[in-house]
């Protein structure tokens, strides 16, 4: 097995296969796991899988558990709806909710994998199928042959072009700013231990604590610009642009977005749902096949679910012809990931309503947010 991409999905797959006695090599283009200024929220549907893989204790040490989930008004900061998180959440879903630094999560996963099978500095550029396997070629000319190749290489996947020639990458019309800010620099922030959405006209701010709770990770989204010129993740955004995007918002919001040292505007991309997840001995996983808006905090969690299901299907695969196993994986995952993708689009519009009757209706509907959490966070990929 060769896995292209040592992101959250690729590494979880490597570990899941290893736990089932299947050897897998991970080929990651980066020279190390040290992405700066980025965190990820892991919900019970993801942490359940990670716990089963034996990394729960290490995750527990370097993650923060949010105290509450709170929705607030963008300008006056009033609590529109709040739900207990912490132990109540864990009791309800059988696994915790964590805020964790992305590099910490990757390092935990790598440490649990066979170190000889994680190859950094390997950028895959081409693959060709032959009778005896798939030949994978890297940018420096090296090549390997594998029985099955998994494209876990993210939203700008190279492997995807082997499966489909339709370009399904779509700019969402929304973009964001992000950063990690010490909580002590945010004196105006109420409930720094909670995961909070501040919802306002044409934008929202999401933040949650990570690590020991001393750092706040935020993503501040604006429903603009209408178009993005290319497929680049980000472009420079001077501090004045960031401040102007949230001018007039609650002081806690303004403090947070203006405190970031990352002066970039990130485009939010999605993949249009794909009807083809595999071809021959090559298969896709995670953002490579279903990149979604981050408003349910599910991109990484869905990659983790994919990994658990793909590993289970491959365990039962026919060694000479894995296509039945890959087809089964696709059938098990396609509907689920489409539903989460669609729901994340709906959330994007709801989070950005201007004050008025529609926003009031949304706020009343927040009373039933539990139902959304049930079908997303309550999902048990291994059982499925």
Ligand X SMILES: Cc1cc2nc3c(=O)[nH]c(=O)nc-3n(C[C@H](O)[C@H](O)[C@H](O)COP(=O)(O)OP(=O)(O)OC[C@H]3O[C@@H](n4cnc5c(N)ncnc54)[C@H](O)[C@@H]3O)c2cc1C
Report the alpha-carbon distance of residue 115 to residue 43 in Å, rounded: 27
CB of 7 vs ligand X, minimal distance in Å: 2
CA torsion sign for 171, 153, 36, 219 is: positive
Q: Distance (Å, rounded) from C-alpha 45 to C-alpha 299?
A: 12
Among 1, 2, 3, 10, binds ligand X (CB under 6 A): 10
x/- track of binding to ligand X for residues 133-152 (CB under 6 A):
-------------------x
Binding test (CB under 6 A) with ligand X, winner from 2, 6, 160, 277: 6
CB 291 within 8 A of CB 303: no
Q: Tell me how far CA of residue 350 lies from CA of 320, 359, 361, 366, in angstroms.
A: 48, 8, 10, 11
Single out the residue of 158, 172, 175, 260 in contact with ligand X (rule: CB under 6 A).
158
From candidates 63, 274, 303, 337, binder to ligand X by CB under 6 A:
303
Q: Which of 2, 25, 27, 160 binds ligand X (CB under 6 A)?
A: 27
Q: What secondary structure letter does DSSP report for 23?
A: -
| CA–CA distance, 205 with 245 (Å, rounded to integer) | 11
Contact between 104 and ligand X per CB under 6 A:
no
Nearest distance from C-beta of residue 370 to ligand X, angstroms: 19
Q: Which is nearer to ligand X, 72 or 306 (CB)?
A: 306
Active site residue 208: yes
* β-strands 2-4, 25-27 pairing: parallel
Please state, in angstroms and rounded to a whole number, the distance separating the CA atoms of residues 142 and 122: 9
* Cα distance between residue 26 and residue 35, in whole Å: 18
Out of 27, 97, 98, 208, pick the active-site residue: 208
Which of the residues 205 through 244 are near ligand X (CB under 6 A)?
Answer: 219
Smallest separation (angstroms) from ligand X to the CB of 294: 4
φ and ψ of 367, to 5 deg: -60, -25
Contacting residue, 44, 48, 96, 153, with ligand X by CB under 6 A: 153
Q: Which is nearer to ligand X, 43 or 359 (CB)?
A: 43
- Note whether 40 binds ligand X by CB under 6 A: yes
In what order do the strands lie in the sheet containing 278-279?
118-119, 25-27, 2-4, 149-151, 282-284, 278-279
Taking CB under 6 A as the rule, does residue 124 contact ligand X? Answer: yes
Positions 324 through 383 that interact with ligand X (CB under 6 A): none
Residues annotated catalytic, as ranges: 208
Instruction: Please report, as ranges, the residues that interact with ligand X according to CB under 6 A.
Output: 4-10, 27-30, 40-41, 122-124, 152-154, 158, 176, 178, 219, 266, 286-288, 294, 297-301, 303
């Amino acid at each position: 097995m060769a896995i292209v991409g040592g992101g959250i999905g690729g590494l979880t797959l490597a570990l899941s296969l290893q736990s089932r006695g299947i050897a897998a090599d991970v080929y990651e283009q980066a020279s190390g796991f040290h992405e700066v200024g980025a965190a990820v929220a892991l919900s019970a549907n993801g942490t359940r899988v990670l716990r089963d893989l034996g990394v729960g204790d290490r995750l527990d040490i370097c993650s923060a558990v949010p105290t509450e989930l709170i929705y607030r008004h963008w300008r006056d900061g009033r609590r529109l709806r709040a739900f207990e998180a912490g132990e109540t959440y864990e009791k309800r879903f059988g696994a915790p909710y964590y805020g964790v630094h992305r590099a910490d999560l990757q390092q935990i996963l790598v440490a649990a994998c066979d170190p000889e099978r994680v190859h950094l500095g390997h950028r895959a550029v081409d693959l060709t199928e032959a009778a005896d396997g798939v030949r994978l070629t890297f940018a420096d000319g090296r090549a390997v042959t594998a029985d099955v190749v998994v494209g876990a290489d993210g939203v700008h996947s190279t492997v995807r072009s082997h499966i489909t020639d339709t370009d399904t990458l779509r700019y969402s019309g929304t973009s964001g700013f992000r950063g990690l800010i010490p909580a002590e620099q945010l004196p105006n922030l109420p409930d720094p231990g909670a995961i909070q959405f501040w919802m306002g006209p044409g934008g929202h701010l999401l933040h949650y604590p990570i690590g020991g709770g001393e750092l706040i990770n935020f993503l501040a989204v604006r429903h603009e610009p209408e178009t993005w010129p290319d497929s680049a993740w980000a472009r420079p955004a001077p501090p004045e642009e960031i401040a102007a995007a949230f001018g007039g918002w609650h002081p806690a919001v303004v403090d947070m977005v203006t405190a970031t040292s990352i002066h970039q505007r990130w485009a939010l991309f999605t993949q249009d749902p794909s009807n083809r997840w595999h071809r021959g001995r090559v298969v896709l996983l995670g953002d490579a096949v279903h990149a979604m808006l981050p408003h349910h905090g599910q991109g990484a969690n869905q990659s983790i679910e994919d990994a658990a299901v793909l590993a289970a299907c491959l365990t039962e695969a026919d060694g000479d012809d894995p296509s039945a196993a890959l087809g089964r994986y696709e059938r098990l995952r396609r509907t689920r990931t489409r539903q989460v993708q669609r729901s994340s689009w709906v959330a994007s519009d709801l989070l950005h309503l201007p004050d008025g009757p529609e926003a009031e209706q949304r706020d009343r509907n927040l009373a039933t947010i539990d139902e959304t959490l049930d079908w997303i966070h309550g999902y048990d990929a291994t059982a499925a």
